[in-house]
Each structure stands twice: as structure tokens, then as C-alpha cells.
Amino acid sequence: AQSVTQPDIHITVSEGASLELRCNYSYGATPYLFWYVQSPGQGLQLLLKYFSGDTLVQGIKGFEAEFKRSQSSFNLRKPSVHWSDAAEYFCAVGPRDFNKFYFGSGTKLNVKP
Amino acid sequence: NAGVTQTPKFQVLKTGQSMTLQCAQDMNHNSMYWYRQDPGMGLRLIYYSASEGTTDKGEVPNGYNVSRLNKREFSLRLESAAPSQTSVYFCASRGLAGDEQYFGPGTRLTVT
């Protein structure tokens, strides 16, 4: 069965510190992979996506993610967190035909001044 | 270009009442989706429509019906609302294969 696991429900980091949010997936074939961000009361905004090719992908707002096939992981990173990054982050996987997506349960990021 | 729009933004229903959530996109996308978001559970797919004229069940379809009215519009209907359907509902659309989903702002539904 397909599933996405985000093991960290809440993370708190200090402004300026580095960030890594974990995502592991279980999927029969190589999926498409996504990270979305959701600010309170808002919809989801795409940060980045991986389809093929270079396993390190760059996204908006200074985020990057690395696809590791051997670990079935797609972790999100940012070298220096800003207060405006406080939000909830969702990892998602989808099949190549894109008809069903699976989302992780989300990680809420709190940024300390 | 409004993207994906949803109406209403907020709704309170009593148990047993019915209502329809509306979704429209102006990006000429083929596929449209309805999700519900509950605390600690991420987004769960209710129904999707891969193209105009087709609809399919997702993970949690029970208690819901959908209509793909035309290419732009995809509605979600609750025939007899239950407190378990209290949630935030998101509509999304996608264009060609290889594109990501674009999300609407959500509808916050409370069933008392």
C-alpha cells in the first residue's frame, strides 16, 4: 500500500539555524515527489518537486530536497531559516499517471526569534 | 487569472442537512480533486476527476458525491451531513502529466 510518513509532527528551530524535514514513502514504483507549504488559514503552495534526473532539487524560498531511492526518502532542507518560514509542511507522492496523490500528515515548523 | 476558487469559505451545518461545495478553475486543467484535511492526518483524497465526464473514488469517498459539471467546475455534495464530516475541504486541479496540483483556499465546514 502506498503511504507517506513524516515522522516529526512539530519542529522548533531558531531563526538563522538550518532545517531538515524528513519524508519517507512507500510506493511500488518510482513516484513523483512534492513538498508543499501551508500557512495558517491558507491553501497549499508548492515548494518543489522531483520527477526525474538530478536527485537534488531546488525550490522556492531557498528550499531544496534530495531524493534518495535506496532510503525511499525525500527530505526537505534549508540552510538558514527565516521567521516567515513558520508554517506546516507536507510531503506528497503521486503515481506517474498522477490520478491519486498521497500526503504525509504534515510537520509544523515553529521559528524562535 | 484567479486559479482555483472555492465557495463558500465557511459553513456550519446541522446533522442531516445537505450542501454542495463549489470549485472552479480557470487554468484549463483536465484533472480536478477534492481533499479533506483533518488535524494530524494530512490531506486525504475524497474524489477526483481525471477529465471532463469522469469521476473516481479516492481514499475516503463515503458520505460524499461529486459532479464534474464541465471542464472548469467540480462540485462536492454532502447529502446528509454528519459530525465526522467536520473538516477543511480543499479543491485542487492539475494540467498535463508532469504538473503539480494547484490548490484552492479551502472551505471550513462544521457539522453540529
CB contact under 8 A, B97 and A43: no
Write the CB contacts of B80 (distance below 8 Å, at least 6 apart in sequence): B16, B17, B18, B63
CB contact under 8 A, A43 and B90: yes
Q: CA angle B72-B73-B76, nearest 5°? A: 155
**Is B53 touching A (CB cutoff 8 A)?**
no
The tally of CA atoms less than 13 A away on the side-chain side of residue A108 is 8
For residue range A17-54, list pLDDT tens digits in order. Answer: 999 999 999 887 778 899 999 998 888 999 999 988 88
Q: For each of chain B's 112 residues, which pLDDT tens digit applies? A: 789 999 999 999 999 999 999 999 999 999 999 999 998 888 999 999 988 889 999 989 999 999 998 999 999 999 999 999 999 999 999 987 667 889 999 999 999 9
